[in-house]
Amino acid sequence: MIFTFMPAMASLFWRLLRWPGSACMACSARVANALRQTRLMSSEPTKGRVSVLRWLPLALVLILFALFFTGLFMGDPTRLPSAYQGKPLPAFSLPPLNETEADLAHADLASGNVVLLNVWASWCAPCRDEHPLLMALAEQGIAIYGLNYKDAPKAARGFLARLGNPYRKIGVDRTGGVAIDLGVYGVPETFVLDADGTLLTRHVGPLSSDIWNNDILPLIGRAAGEQTKQEEKPDDISG
């Protein structure tokens, strides 16, 4: 009888011996499965963060483009602000258009009177449009200095020979380096400076009689002071 039950007892004993190991293996399997689920759950937000970071540069570019577009097409493009508003222009010296004349330097712009620094070129069609107004202002005694921008000297001299020369001095900026320092956007462009050479305003585009009478002339009057007599101020330009 004893030997009859020996195999059954041995099998039962072996199962009892294996039970702790099986239980541990089952527990280990459960722990591993829980850890795996935790990693999956924690990886989902990480993927979300990675997706957001991936699109962040594009979002910044779009925001900058929107700001640039708004600044370019909203408001008056002829009244672009200058970094030198209320300040003297940076020091510069340019060779003359005509060899017999003196160089054009920033010191010429602080002459004790209101002066205009006009950026122009013979190849610039709007420069031709504003030229009659510059001639009329020069006849009134307004001091106008010219900055000839990226132009051929021969073409520039021919331009003035045909249309007249309103400039007291002309500096040749063949490379455009001085124009860059002044913050010039293009041609034509006119800087209006007070008696001390301080920038009052900068006009982008061709000047017209309306712009001169309504925008620039009142500004010159305010800069000259409330005591300025009417007969000492430049006259209106009709047209």
pLDDT at residue 61, as a whole number: 74
Whether the full predicted model's pTM is greater than 0.85, yes or no, is no
CATH number for the region 80-232 comes to 3.40.30.10
pLDDT at residue 225, as a whole number: 72
Q: Which tokens go with 121?
A: 């070129």
pLDDT at residue 24, as a whole number: 41
Residues 6+ apart with CB under 8 A from 211: 78, 203
pLDDT along the chain (239 residues), means of 10: 40 42 46 51 52 69 61 49 85 95 95 95 97 97 97 98 98 97 95 95 96 94 62 61
